[in-house]
Structure 1
Amino acid sequence: MRALLLLGALLAPAVQAATCSAVSGDTRNRLLELYTSEGCSSCPPADRWLSQLPPDSGVVPLAFHVDYWDRLGWRDPYAQAAFSQRQRARNSGPGWVYTPQVMLDGTDFRTWHRGLPARSNSPAQVGLALTLDQTPERVDVQADSRFSAPVAGRDATLYLALVENRLSSKVTAGENAERTLHHDHVVRQLVGPLDPRRALHSFKLLPGWKAANLEVAAFVLDAKGATLQALARPACP
């Protein structure tokens, strides 16, 4: 049944398909990762910066809330131990982690507060397409990648993320006690590595998540963790 729904989304009229699909362009979009926590007093400026990025900045922004600040008395409701582990893995060379940390295409980017570097117009080595099918309980995703050359797809992996915007918390303990914090691009679920040439996944929506504020992001990484292509679009209405 689920396969039929996905097939129906692919064969739907063009007007409908345009509302529930996205295709990357001829240039490469960059992956921007923010590792943050509501328990970290220096993180709110980075959270605001991420929220204010213009949509034409050429990046796919993702906020990963880590859990290692929870010990200070405030449990970040968006934090996951898996995201702390991801940050450590992404920093496997230096061997340390900190917040807020911004990574651009898998590389530590400490000058984020000065703005992003000029948008790259380098040709993309991979084209990425997303097709979504949404019900009140779940978001079904099909992602397809097409590599310009076999070497470009060697050992490449695909990740899919379900992201929520317009979140807020009134913090009552820890370093940000008595502050109301606002967040966008917060990763709710991350799956991967997947086969980039075709992947199907169903994200189950949990109580309290607002479907109108959800996005789906996809990104393809090479064997060294660098971004080959990234793409995001709002979930279907």
Structure 2
Amino acid sequence: MDKPGRIGGSILMSLLTAVAATPVAAADLQPKVVELFTSQGCSSCPPANANLIKMSNRKDVLALSFSVTYWDYLGWKDTYGRPEFTERQVAYEPALKQAGPFTPQMVVNGASTVVGNDLSEVEKLLAQAAPLKGPALAFSGDHIEIGAGAEHANADVWLVRYDPQVEAVPIARGENEGATLQHTHVVRRLDRLGTWDGSKTSFSLPNKVARLKTAVLVQRPEGGPILSAITD
């Protein structure tokens, strides 16, 4: 027969095991996602970059900076720009009732938008944004675990790799010629892992890259709202 001390220890270990098995991004703990679409060739973008740096310090926000490519023709090719980032922004515009992509644009939870260089308007949009209601997410080794939720079925699962450091980039040409622009949470890789069908499932993740953090987004297709988000 176990002594009281042993029984208490067993109960404590059981509780700790249960807590460890709980998804770390249950719906009520998930961050609000702020995506900045910016360009080093855009003279209006530096204030928006600065605003994202401020928001990147908030625990309740996942800040992501996507460098687009459509301003490269002005004489400076964005050092972080990729066509897939531009495509992501373009996909948002019909659902957000925008005539077309612009910079600096911030999109909150994939569902609302604002000009990114007006911090008060960005904060207002964040305050109004509803908490994410999608499936629970948890990292498990080299996999992302997604909980069940039939009411949210048929969503895209996106892998985002981003640099959490603040980086300074000197600009030699274009509208920001001579300036040194600061960036943070710059997205370096964006991959669609597959489709979540509403059932409990997992997706394998590619090997980690030095310096980069990993985020996973579960999102309605074709620029729809973000349902769930997690970052390591």
Q: Normalized against structure 2, the TM-score is what?
A: 0.76
Provide the C-alpha distance between the structure 2 equivalents of 1:199 and 1:163, rounded to a whole number of angstroms. Answer: 19
Q: Is the 8 A contact 2:169 2:182 kept in 1?
A: yes
Q: Is the 8 A contact 1:30 1:104 kept in 2?
A: yes
Provide the C-alpha distance between the structure 2 equivalents of 1:174 and 1:122, rounded to a whole number of angstroms. Answer: 39
| Seq. identity, % | 30
Q: Residue in 1 aligned with 2:113?
A: 108
What displacement does 1:56 show? 3.8
Q: Residue in 1 aligned with 2:189?
A: 189
Provide the C-alpha distance between the structure 2 equivalents of 1:174 and 1:203, rounded to a whole number of angstroms. Answer: 36
SS at match of 1:83: helix
What displacement does 1:157 show? 1.7
Matched residue count: 198
From the two aligned structures, give the one with the greater helix fraction: 2
Matched ranges for 1:136-147 at <5 A: 141-147=142-148
Structure 1: 5+ residue stretches without partners: 1-13, 133-140, 206-210
Larger radius of gyration: 2
Q: 2:139 aligns with which of 130, 141, 144?
A: 130
Q: Residue in 1 aligned with 2:177?
A: 177
Q: Residue in 1 aligned with 2:167?
A: 167
1:221 and 2:219 matched: yes
1:15-66: CA deviation from partner (whole Å, max 9, x where unpaired): xxx9xxx821341432211100000011011111101115445221111100
What displacement does 1:185 show? 0.8
1:48-104: CA deviation from partner (whole Å, max 9, x where unpaired): 110111544522111110011111111111001111111111113434011000011
Q: Normalized against structure 1, the TM-score is what?
A: 0.74
Provide the C-alpha distance between the structure 1 equivalents of 2:104 and 2:48, rounded to a whole number of angstroms. Answer: 7
Q: Give the partner amino acid of 2:170.
A: K
Provide the C-alpha distance between the structure 2 equivalents of 1:96 and 1:169, rounded to a whole number of angstroms. Answer: 27
Cα distance change on mapping 1:160 and 1:69 into 2, 3 Å: same
Q: Is the 8 A contact 1:169 1:181 kept in 2?
A: yes
